């Protein structure tokens, strides 16, 4: 009986820590935050080298209640310094954990994937981390260069096993 109660308490504690996180609360920055529209904001960040870096955050929901199943992080640079890439990787890993229920243990794998393609010119490369798809996209528009990372996941946010998710 004691084991049954312990197991029930453990399950309740685990489910109590799961749930939704507003993307605007998750993506804070030292340079502030500007909401551009209902699906995009800009965040001012600072790298470990003390350099300012603006990061765009675009987010989309194909499910009810504004639960996000696709998030983009983008910068307006054609390549990233080591400190900028580290900052981007940290933010991608935090979103993967908080919004897509990925294990924190995948952080080094995510950062390695980004590092491999950082030195290339325009390219689109994709990989999967379990149910989460990660796409590295570098290119040019009429406004200039960009580096973007798209994260998406199959399943329904908030429904097991995807218990940790983000909302608008």
Q: How many CB atoms lie within 10 A of CB 91?
A: 19
List pLDDT tens digits, range 75-101.
999 889 999 999 999 999 999 999 999
**pLDDT per position as a tens digit, 17-73:** 468 899 989 988 887 888 888 889 999 999 999 999 999 999 988 777 789 999 999
Q: What value does the mean pLDDT of the chain take? A: 86
pLDDT at 10 over 50: no
What pTM value is reported for the model?
0.85
Cα 3 from Cα 112, distance rounded (Å): 41
Residue among 98, 46, 47 at smallest CA distance from 71: 98
């Amino acid at each position: 009986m004691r084991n049954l109660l312990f197991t029930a308490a453990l399950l309740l504690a685990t489910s109590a820590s799961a749930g939704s996180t507003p993307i605007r609360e998750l993506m804070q920055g030292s340079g502030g935050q500007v909401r551009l529209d209902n699906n995009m904001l800009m965040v001012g960040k600072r790298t470990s080298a003390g350099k300012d870096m603006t990061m765009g955050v675009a987010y989309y929901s194909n499910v009810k209640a504004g639960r996000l199943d696709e998030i983009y992080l983008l910068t307006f640079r054609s390549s990233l310094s080591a400190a900028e890439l580290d900052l981007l990787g940290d933010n991608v890993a935090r979103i993967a954990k908080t919004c897509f229920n990925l294990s924190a243990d995948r952080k080094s794998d995510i950062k390695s994937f980004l590092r491999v393609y950082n030195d290339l010119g325009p390219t689109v490369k994709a990989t999967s981390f379990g149910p989460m798809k990660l796409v590295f996209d570098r290119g040019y528009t009429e406004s200039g260069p960009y580096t973007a990372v798209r994260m998406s996941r199959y399943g329904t946010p908030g429904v097991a096993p995807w218990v940790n998710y983000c909302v608008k």
